[in-house]
Homo-oligomer: A and B are copies of this chain.
Amino acid sequence: MRFFSDNAAAAHPAVLEAFAEANRLDTAYDGDAWSRRLDGVFSGLFGTDVRALWVTSGTAANCIALAAMVPPYGGVLCHREAHINVDEAGAPEFFTGGAKLLLVDGPGAKVTPEILAEARGRIRADVHQVQPSAVSITNATEYGLTYSPEETAAVGEFARSHGLGFHLDGARFANAVASLDVPVSELTWKAGVDALSFGFVKNGGFSAEALILFKPELASAAERLRKRSGHLLSKGRYLAAQLLAMVEDDVWLDNARHANDAARRLAEAAPGRLVHPVEANEVFVRLTAEEAASLRAQGFDFYDWGVGEARLVTSWNQDLGDVDRLAAAIREL
């Protein structure tokens, strides 16, 4: 019973079906019938004109977006625990040609305009220090917290007023949307977001993420960076088909709701143990080494998260029986 992560689950049947349909000759790269529908379908979803590019990983989506916004001598304001800083092996520095991540702190890996303003205020506006060119946040955060439309818009207003790009790492954007139950527009372009890494792999896809550009002027750079980084696959239709299958019947939202629901069940079993509020599909709990060992002995797998804490992540297809068994086991600790 695996609660390691949502990044290794099987793909949703609709995705596989779409994939099989795409298994026929069509134009290479993104000239095929599936790829050519992406802009339209995502524009419909977001209620505004967007450019939507498939890529094969969240790292690629994040870093292509950042490199399209940030010059090599620029900087990106982000949380110290952001995935782009911690778990992407320096990919942002690589894609941007050496831009600097300008790190801030904040509970639950969330940032606020106040935190950002404080960090920016410490940067002298001279040529000796790297100046920020963009802000990047993650929704839901690396600790499973969400940014509401208001919170997102406040960051967006900070970015706008300082002439910064605004990137949203949405590896678990679906979970945030499902949790907040608000229109996607309010978490993105209406809140000032310029580019969204819209994650599907953790939510039922297998190899396709969407880079959504709300500023069309970013598209040219992004398309060149996608090619230049080896992400313009020749048989792109297999990626586009995955995305379309996820979006067209709200599969992405249903999947995220399932995962969130599973996390909520775990959270309700451990009210006194929660390290962070549970607002998406990740549950961080305090567990002694003995308690963790006891759960593992009962067949539950998960990561320790520092000393005395553990991370439980639920997937789009997490077996709810397993979830309830884990919830019960936690209650009995």
Contact = CB atoms under 8 A, between A and B. Distances in A.
Contacts of A67: 72
A99 to B, nearest CB: 7
A93 B93 CA distance: 8
A90 B100 contact: yes
B235 A7 contact: yes
A89 B129 contact: yes
B23 A228 contact: no
Contacts of A25: 2, 8-10
A233 interface: yes
Contacts of A225: 73
Nearest to A96: B98
A229 interface: yes
B228 A56 contact: no
Nearest to A32: B8
A233 B239 CA distance: 13
Complex copy number for this chain: 4
Given A128-B88, A207-B238, A230-B231, A10 B28 contact: no
A97 interface: yes
B231 A56 contact: yes
A5 B227 CA distance: 18
A30 to B, nearest CB: 9
Interface string A283-299: 00000000000000000
Contact of A233 (B23, B75, B128, B207): B207
Given A8-B235, A56-B56, A71-B221, A228 B89 contact: yes
A40 B225 CA distance: 34
Interface in A2-35: 2, 4-5, 7-11, 16, 19-20, 23-28, 32
A233 B57 CA distance: 6
Given A26-B8, A87-B128, A235-B201, A72 B72 contact: yes
Interface in A158-217: 201-202, 206-207
A10 B28 CA distance: 11
Interface string A38-78: 00000000000000000111011101000100011101000
A94 interface: yes
A252 B235 CA distance: 18
Nearest to A20: B16
A201 B94 CA distance: 26
B94 A72 contact: yes
A23 B11 contact: yes
A73 B228 contact: yes
Contacts of A207: 56, 207, 233, 235, 238-239
A203 to B, nearest CB: 12
A323 interface: no
A93 B57 CA distance: 22
A320 interface: no
Contacts of A88: 128, 227-228, 230
A57 B234 contact: yes
11 contacts: A7-B28, A16-B20, A16-B23, A56-B56, A72-B72, A72-B94, A73-B89, A89-B130, A91-B229, A97-B97, A207-B207
